[in-house]
Chain A
Amino acid sequence: MAEKIDFSKVRFLIVDPNPLALQMLNDILSMLGANYVRRATDYDKAMDVLKEGNIDILITEREITPKNGIELVDYIRHDPSSRDRLLPVIVLTARSEEPFVVEARDHGANEFVAKPYTVDSLYKRLSAVIAYPRSFVSAPGYFGPERRRKQLPFNGTERRGVDPNAPKG
């Protein structure tokens, strides 16, 4: 039997300054069955919601004000007051050129979806963060999901350890 995702159990925060983009994303999530979708049109409103907690997935545009979506990811991953440093983050942005993909990845975003997007491409990323969560890496200069997606044979010296005090899933 195939696995399904019950989106009524998932709490979303979606951030986009464009009302139509925000509404459309909200409608897609509603169609999926999500009934807890908080919306924000800028950084400050998103921060207010994040500080309240009770969010399972953040989907944010990069181009928000007064700070950008990547700074929102930085807050989640690094700020001592962050409620959930492991919060899954999907960057959904019209800034789709390679440097922005690399930037999002290196700041700890879980997934990147380039606008214009198809429902299929968005769903794949949603499905990935819910059904196949990735390990996190804490290293000097980086805290975020494992950036290596393919498990290839590695013949070198293993330099990464497992933190016995790290939060367990």
Chain B
Amino acid sequence: MASKSKVQIIQPSTDLRKRAVNFKTGFGVILSPQETQKLQLVVEKSSDQFTRQIGEKLKALREEFGALEDGEAPPLRLVERVVADALEIKGLGGTFKFPLLTQIAKSLHDYATQIREPNAWNTVIVGHHIDALYVVLAQRITGLGGRIEAELLKALRAASTKFK
């Protein structure tokens, strides 16, 4: 049991609040719909940059995986790049109205993270994920897509579980 003297409560610093919170200038403590919309425009402005940047990453990954021979395992450094890129896509997709990208990237990240000794199955499964991401981006499938996209995601997850 913790003794009374060892657990202390420290009152919060109110310096920042005193400096920044007021009744005249700035954004509301709770955002109004207009303020939210204003901020949303900032995100939308970066949308083209996002599709370009992610498109380039996926293109490069596709080329590297495409260059592997049939039955060849991906080198570990390539797997590490997949892990990093998948996490990045997972983190950004939904913000730019591509939640399906986020979901596929999560599936890819979960799969690639557990690869210790790459094998030929990894090439196939990672390759399918990359192709799926590429298609979603190229076709500008915003939102979660429809039945086909849901089936695709389910298939990718099932394959990831089966072929480690």
Contact = CB atoms under 8 A, between A and B. Distances in A.
A127 B50 CA distance: 27
B95 A5 contact: no
A135 B87 contact: no
Interface of B: 1-17, 19-31, 36, 38-40, 42-43, 45-46, 49-50, 53, 87-88, 90-96, 99, 102
A18 B88 contact: yes
Contacts of B1: 159
Interface of A: 1-10, 18, 20-21, 23-24, 27-28, 31-33, 56-57, 63, 86, 88, 93-95, 115-120, 123, 127, 129-131, 133-140, 145-146, 159-163, 166-169
Nearest to B12: A133
B17 to A, nearest CB: 6
Contacts of A167: 10, 13
* Interface majority SS (helix, strand, loop, mixed), chain B: helix
B8 A10 contact: no
A144 to B, nearest CB: 10
A166 B7 CA distance: 12
B92 A135 contact: no
A10 B5 contact: no
Given A7-B20, A116-B95, A135 B12 contact: yes
Nearest to A117: B95
22 contacts: A5-B26, A9-B19, A21-B88, A23-B46, A32-B26, A33-B25, A94-B88, A115-B91, A123-B36, A127-B30, A133-B13, A137-B7, A138-B10, A145-B12, A146-B9, A159-B1, A159-B2, A159-B3, A161-B7, A163-B9, A166-B9, A169-B15
Nearest to B3: A159
A31 B29 contact: no
Given A24-B42, A28-B39, A120-B36, A4 B29 contact: yes
B60 to A, nearest CB: 16
Given A32-B39, A94-B91, A169 B20 contact: no
A161 B9 contact: yes
List of 10 A-B pairs having minimum Cβ-Cβ separation, nearest first:
A116-B94, A94-B91, A115-B91, A133-B12, A163-B8, A6-B26, A119-B39, A169-B13, A136-B10, A116-B95
B11 A135 contact: yes
Contact of B8 (A8, A94, A166): A166
A169 B7 contact: no
B27 A119 contact: no
Contacts of A129: 16
